[in-house]
């Protein structure tokens, strides 16, 4: 038998199928979010089943998590993304004490106790300029692909200071800096440092390692280094940073 986790995030949908006998991932998938959220998620789930050679009747339980979890009425139950991130990261990195999850619409800092259970967490509001959506806006303004933000930041001679807390005001600030002649590299590095500072503000003085970085933003070059510098602690990127929530949901489906 198998268990499944579906993470309906604000920007992407992720699916993980696990063998219930040994908690081994047998199939996974990711696709963009859309207005047909329920149908898209089901299509991705069916694709994962097909690729693994599994029938729907062989899936014992489906757990939905993420921003749009309540819309997935074909899942058996829902579990919060905080809990699922903790399960997923602990499965990949036993001993982790802090999870930094930066997604499309929000950022989370999750503290785990010595047993891997959620101790507490902090979360930004969706207007804060510290999410994947902000990086998408910056990339567009700099006429870069999102994947090129890290390479541009490496060329920074002097990272720009981006201080606005709201995406709208931060974009206006960046437009002004561009008009003043600031380079794309300095702005890219400045934005990465700005996002890292917001995580540092959420962490406060209490931060235990090991620290694991998840979410789509973890795939962008330079973000791990920016976090490490700001937090003054080593930060590791999860093995599959976009899939940890779905992985945790599949583990939750198994009652782990």
Provide the sign of the torsion angle of the four alpha carbons 159, 160, 163, 167, taken in this order.
Answer: negative
Q: Tell me whether domains 2-89+243-253 and 94-237 share a fold.
A: yes
Q: What value does the mean pLDDT take over residues 235-246?
A: 96
CA dihedral 218, 221, 223, 226 (to 10 degrees): 150
End-to-end CA distance of the chain: 15
Nearest to 222 by CA among 182, 199, 192: 192
Beta-carbon-side half-sphere exposure of residue 101 (alpha carbons within 13 Å) = 27
**Which superfamily is assigned to 2-89+243-253 in CATH?**
ATPase, nucleotide binding domain (3.30.420.40)
Residue with tokens 């040994």: 22
- Condensed to tens digits (0 to 9), the pLDDT of residues 153-191 reads 988 888 888 876 677 777 888 888 888 888 889 999 988
pTM of the model: 0.90
Rounded CA-CA distance 256/221 in Å is 33
- Domain locations along the chain: 2-89+243-253, 94-237
Confidence of residue 256 (pLDDT cuts 50, 70, 90): low
- Condensed to tens digits (0 to 9), the pLDDT of residues 182-207 reads 888 999 998 899 889 889 988 887 78
What is the CATH topology of the domain spanning 94-237? Answer: Nucleotidyltransferase; domain 5 (3.30.420)
């Amino acid at each position: 038998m198998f268990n499944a986790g579906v993470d309906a995030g604000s920007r992407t949908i992720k699916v993980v199928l696990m063998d219930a006998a040994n908690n081994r991932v047998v199939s996974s998938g990711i696709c963009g979010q859309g207005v047909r959220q329920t149908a898209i998620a089901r299509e991705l789930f069916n694709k994962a089943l097909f690729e693994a050679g599994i029938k729907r009747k062989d899936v014992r339980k489906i757990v939905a998590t993420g921003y749009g979890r309540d819309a997935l009425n074909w899942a058996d139950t829902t579990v919060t993304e905080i809990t699922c991130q903790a399960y997923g990261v602990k499965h990949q990195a036993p001993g982790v004490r802090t999870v930094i999850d930066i997604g499309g619409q929000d950022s989370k800092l999750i503290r785990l106790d010595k047993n891997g259970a959620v101790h507490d967490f902090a979360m930004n509001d969706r207007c804060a300029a510290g999410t994947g959506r902000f990086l998408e806006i910056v990339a567009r303004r700099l006429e870069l692909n999102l994947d090129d933000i890290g390479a541009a930041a490496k060329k920074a001679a002097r990272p720009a200071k981006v201080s606005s807390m709201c995406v709208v005001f931060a974009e206006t600030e960046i437009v002004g800096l561009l008009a003043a002649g600031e380079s794309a590299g300095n702005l890219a590095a400045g934005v990465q440092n700005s996002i890292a500072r917001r995580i540092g503000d959420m962490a406060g003085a209490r931060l235990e390692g090991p620290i694991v970085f998840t979410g789509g933003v973890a795939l962008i070059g330079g973000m791990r280094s920016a976090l490490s510098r700001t937090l003054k602690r080593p930060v590791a990127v999860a093995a599959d940073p976009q899939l940890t929530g779905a992985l945790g949901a599949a583990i939750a489906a198994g009652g782990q």
